[in-house]
Amino acid sequence: MSLYFHQRTVAKEVACSGIGMHSGKPVTLRIKPAPINHGIKFVRTDLPECPSLPAHFNMVVDTSLATVIGYDGFIVSTVEHLMACFSGLSVDNALVELDSYEVPIMDGSAGPFAQIIKSAGIKEQLGSRYYFIIKEPIELKEGDKSVTVYPSPSFRITCNIEFNHPLVKKQSYSIYVSEHVFETEISRARTFGFLHEVEYLKRYGFARGGSLDNAVVIDKNKILNNEGLRYQDEFVRHKILDCIGDFSLLGMPILGHVVLNKSGHSFNHAFLKKFFAQRESWETQIIENNEHQSEIQPKSLAI
């Protein structure tokens, strides 16, 4: 990520509307400026007393189809793309209001959210910005799935995926996360699914809002979307997008190299639990000078 010494928020209120991927319900979302040390909080304006909850890993209640946070009987679903934007654009504090339980899917990527946040502008605040500094590797491994974070002077993600499908196969991608890289190489990568899985989900009442307008759908030997892929390796780029969103639920930016192999929302969340349990492997710091700045490399590395 871009290295900032002070916290940041959006400069003004912005809004967008769409439908929920799984609910199929219309929803309007508003992003408002918030004070220092506020973090990212979601407010359900459709419920009595407009309850709110922080976007934090210990609020996660479901990761089966998307990342869902909840508390005291109410939920906010499918937060990962919006949260990836806040992290990728280095926005620390914001109030997110929505009038339904699911964040709109938009075009299946984080691109529309990035656009509205950039249109609002991002304002630096007086509060110091804290980072998680990785001191020694932390690993979670189960079969051929793994997530590991290594010490690094910048936030880097390397992702490896493998699907038994001729249009996906093995894909690997590695980036140093900066605002420019996030906007140009990651934010526009769309969620994807296989046709038989989409049909199954719809049959059982899920993915009600899913369509070729908001997801890449893969048949046996072709992409069903008329426009095709936005990137040749859009699939692994979207997995990196999901990772950025899931890791944003740590509550603070991280300086470390995250390496993922065949991971998804559930396994990412399990790793976050281990991350906090392995307290001796990291520390929180304020970066008070630019000693790391020359080591930040806002570029991507295709493997």
The CB density around residue 68, as the number of other CB atoms within 10 Å, is 21
Which position among 238, 265, 269, 292 bears the catalytic label? 265
- CATH architecture assignment, domain 6-128: 2-Layer Sandwich (3.30)
Q: What long-range pairs does 226-232 form, CB within 8 A, spacing at least 24? A: 230/188, 230/189, 230/190, 231/185, 231/188, 231/189
Q: Which residue type sits at 200?
A: Y
pLDDT for the residue numbered 209: 74
Quote the tokens at residue 192: 């994807």
The fold for domain 130-302 equals lpxc deacetylase, domain 1 (3.30.1700)
pLDDT for the residue numbered 211: 83
pLDDT for the residue numbered 300: 37
In the chain, residues under CATH classification 3.30.1700.10 are 130-302
Distance between CA 74 and CA 107 in Å, rounded?
26
Does residue 41 contact residue 91 with C-beta atoms inside 8 Å?
no
In the chain, residues under CATH classification 3.30.230.20 are 6-128
pLDDT single digits (tens) 247-268: 999 999 999 999 999 999 999 9
| Burial of residue 211, with CB atoms counted within 10 A of its CB: 0-12 exposed, 13-18 middle, 19 or more buried | middle
- The pTM is what? 0.91
Sequence-distant (6+) residues with CB within 8 A of 22 are 65, 66, 77, 78, 102, 206, 207, 208, 209, 210
pLDDT for the residue numbered 207: 64
pLDDT for the residue numbered 302: 38
pLDDT for the residue numbered 301: 41
pLDDT for the residue numbered 295: 40
H/E run at residue 97: strand 94-98
Distance between CA 58 and CA 42 in Å, rounded?
14
Q: Has 292 been annotated as catalytic? A: no
Q: State which residues of the chain have pLDDT below 50.
A: 291-303
